[in-house]
Amino acid sequence: MKKISIYIAVTLLLISCKTKEKNPVTSQILASESFRLRQDLPVEIIDAHDFESLPLEDINTKIKDIRYIPFFSKEPIGIFDKLVIYDNHVIVLDAFKSESIYIFDISGKLIHIIHSKGGGPEEYHGLMDITISRKDTLIVIPDRLSLSMLYYSLNGQFVKKTKAAPCFYLEMLGDKFVNQTTFAQSYSLDIEHNYNLIISSIDSVICKGFPYYPIQKEAIISNALQYNYKEQLLFTPVLSDTIYQIINDSTYSAKYVVNQKKSLWEKRKEYLTMQQVFNLIQHSNYTHLKPPILETKGFVSYQIAHEKNNMIASTTYWFDKARNKSFTPKEIPIDNKINIPNIIPRPMTIYNNHYVGIYLPHEVEEMITLSKNNMASFENEELRNILKDKKNKSMEFLMVMYEFW
């Protein structure tokens, strides 16, 4: 519900008291060149309905390396909106509750908390996303309530503030910004004036791409910009089946297509409200691909939204490139004592060819309770020691880094 209200608030803010004919953002976007599609690069098909549902024992045989790391903070993290790992720094964004950025070292020790909400020259009005400028190793924060960008060192020290083009989510391509935009963020309500991505330099629009389809007008977007293990920037338009690679500031190519039996993308030319989209999933067995799409050397992780018990759920899959087949962990009924070799959370990012996810304190507490009540036996020694250590009751989260063979 929060995401929906945020989308509405941002959209109303950006289109209020403006017209598409007079607004410079719309003019810049329409005047800019369009992305060029490279069609000479191979496209791999991922068959999403041909997968294996594997028990934990079989998943464990695929794990090459796994690490469990408890993280501690002097101030609580409300919501984990994004997790970024770069140069042995772990950066957590809580955009809407504490409205802060938490910076840790890779061992779990807190380095700094950025909490600079306000109207001053070194402050932000509202958070939405964070990224890393690989060119100068800085944390970049787009201010969702003003057209500005703030830069901080990896240790959390303010560096500078600049103007910016509109964006909802952000990545950097060298010294250019890759802006993922919501519908009407160009200040226009017309389909032909709206694009999923714009490339900008400071506040000047250089290139536009991925025009909005009618089905995307009311869609709730999520962060669909991710770097893979090769530092290639991947992008998946909302509700699309195709994962693209942004090659440079004017060129892209299709990299993967995720085939589904009844994909919502088949209806991309139809204008559908979100309630109509939900109804198609709940009552007509439609599905759709959900970011993040995370690619390591041998695997691609993705999520599929689908109906489950008359609700909308999402399942995480890992596509094994060598075997050309996806797998997902099988659900475990806790009715008798079970031996758990390793547990892996849904990945939020990648780092050094590892998938990275987290368990929140209540999830860790559930593991402790299962162990105490002799309902589960955790075989990983590192995890067992973490669950036994009383000081870990005050941890902010448990990070898990895992690599598959």
- Judge: domain 2-404, CATH 2.120.10: yes
**Burial class (CB within 10 angstroms; exposed 0-12, middle 13-18, buried 19+) of 169:** buried
Strands across the sheet containing 33-34 = 33-34, 204-211, 195-201, 176-180, 169-173
SS3 string, 274-323, reads HHHHHHHHHHHCCEEEEEEEEECCCEEEEEEEEEECCEEEEEEEEEECCC
- Mean pLDDT (whole number) for 67-73: 97
Mean pLDDT of the region 269-295: 96
Q: pLDDT per residue over 194-219, tens digit each?
A: 999 999 999 999 999 999 999 999 99
- Report d(CA 126, CA 143) in Å as an integer: 5
Q: Tell me how far apart the alpha carbons of residues 302 and 289 are, in angstroms, rounded to a whole number.
A: 7
Coil vs helix vs strand at 216? helix
Q: What is the mean pLDDT of residues 127-145?
A: 95
Strand, helix or coil for residue 363: helix
247, 31 in Cβ contact below 8 A? no
Q: What is the tens place of the pLDDT at every residue in 74-99?
A: 999 999 999 999 999 999 999 999 99
Side-chain-side CA neighbours of 300 within 13 Å: the count stands at: 27
pTM of the model: 0.92
User: Does 239 score more than 50 pLDDT?
Assistant: yes
**Residue ranges per structural domain of the chain:** 2-404
According to the model, what pLDDT value does residue 338 have?
86
Q: Which helix (H) or strand (E) holds 139?
A: strand 138-143
Q: CA nearest 147: which of 164, 169, 125? A: 164
